[in-house]
């Protein structure tokens, strides 16, 4: 299908805003999109007129407007997804004392589509809903990468792999070996992969045909992930993954 270049560029500008960079200058937006400043300025002006972007004349920074939320609320199945997933994720958080996430495939990485935080001992801003996590960072994203179609996995491994900290795997050959070992498994574990002192454990979620479409994962302090702890966490994740696979498939959300 032919693309409308102006709309494609406007989407590039909107997608430049991330939870890590919610407010950006004109220069930062232009650098993030690869567009020149004149084009970026015209697009921002149009988005501001549509109440999709806000501009502060004092700080000279831009951020997304509240009208963006009205679009998110109109996504079909969004309410059904949270009605189904949120109670299950909360139960896992209570049982494991961890942050719990539900993520699926995105173009540039794993996309968080639901999360639960129930007074865990870890209070960090990590993987908000809609945020993309590179496939080489964390147990959940790497598990999705392992079950990705071979051609898509090879294409991702051919890109520059971003680093979250010194322990993140950025060598494509090392990452390829790791995900090759994961491919026949439904679980994954990582330690100090994104934030030092935190571990993550993940479990696949499959559709009615048995294909991996999402993962449920938990993140918590390293001491929680002893051999015994990982067994307890694994049992909670496996039970939740079975429920999510069945209920999301029945509802047509997987």
pLDDT (0 to 100) of residue 52: 92
- What span, in angstroms and rounded, lies between the C-alpha atoms of 58 and 87? 43
pLDDT (0 to 100) of residue 123: 62
- pLDDT tens, residue by residue, 198-248: 999 999 999 888 899 999 999 999 999 999 999 999 999 999 999 999 888
Average pLDDT, the chain: 90
**pLDDT confidence bin for 78, thresholds 50/70/90:** low
User: Domains in the chain, ordered, with CATH?
Assistant: 5-70 (1.10.10.10), 78-250 (3.30.450.40)
- pLDDT tens, residue by residue, 107-124: 889 999 999 987 656 666
Is it the case that residue 125 has pLDDT exceeding 80? no
- What span, in angstroms and rounded, lies between the C-alpha atoms of 43 and 37? 10
**pLDDT confidence bin for 82, thresholds 50/70/90:** confident
Long-range CB contact pairs, 72-77, < 8 A, 24+: 72/130, 77/251, 77/252, 77/253
Strands 212-221 and 99-105: antiparallel
Residue whose token pair is 């609320």: 73
- What span, in angstroms and rounded, lies between the C-alpha atoms of 117 and 101? 9
- pLDDT tens, residue by residue, 130-166: 889 999 999 999 999 999 999 999 999 999 999 988 8
User: What pTM was estimated for this model as a whole?
Assistant: 0.73
**pLDDT confidence bin for 75, thresholds 50/70/90:** low
Phi, psi of 124 (to 5 degrees): -135, 150
């Amino acid at each position: 299908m032919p693309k409308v270049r102006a709309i494609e560029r406007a989407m590039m500008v909107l997608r430049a805003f991330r939870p890590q960079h919610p407010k950006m200058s004109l220069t930062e937006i232009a650098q993030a999109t690869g567009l020149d400043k004149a084009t970026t300025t015209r697009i921002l002006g149009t988005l501001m007129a549509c109440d999709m972007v806000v501009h502060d004349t004092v700080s000279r920074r831009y951020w997304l407007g509240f009208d963006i939320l009205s679009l998110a609320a109109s996504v079909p199945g969004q309410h059904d997804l949270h009605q189904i997933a949120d109670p299950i994720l909360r139960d896992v958080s209570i049982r494991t004392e961890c942050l719990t996430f539900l993520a699926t495939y995105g173009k540039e990485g794993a996309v968080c589509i639901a999360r639960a935080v129930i007074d865990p001992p870890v209070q960090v801003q990590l993987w908000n809903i809609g945020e993309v996590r590179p496939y080489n960072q964390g147990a959940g994203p790497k598990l999705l990468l392992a079950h990705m179609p071979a051609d898509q996995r090879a294409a991702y491994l051919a890109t520059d792999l971003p680093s979250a900290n010194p322990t993140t795997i950025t060598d494509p050959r090392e990452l390829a070996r790791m995900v090759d070992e994961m491919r026949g498994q439904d679980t994954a574990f990582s330690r100090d992969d994104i934030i030092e002192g935190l571990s993550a454990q993940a479990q696949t979620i499959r559709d009615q045909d048995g294909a991996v479409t999402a993962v449920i994962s938990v993140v918590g302090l390293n001491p929680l992930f002893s051999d015994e702890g990982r067994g307890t966490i694994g049992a909670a994740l496996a039970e939740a993954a079975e429920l999510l696979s069945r209920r999301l498939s029945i509802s047509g959300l997987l």
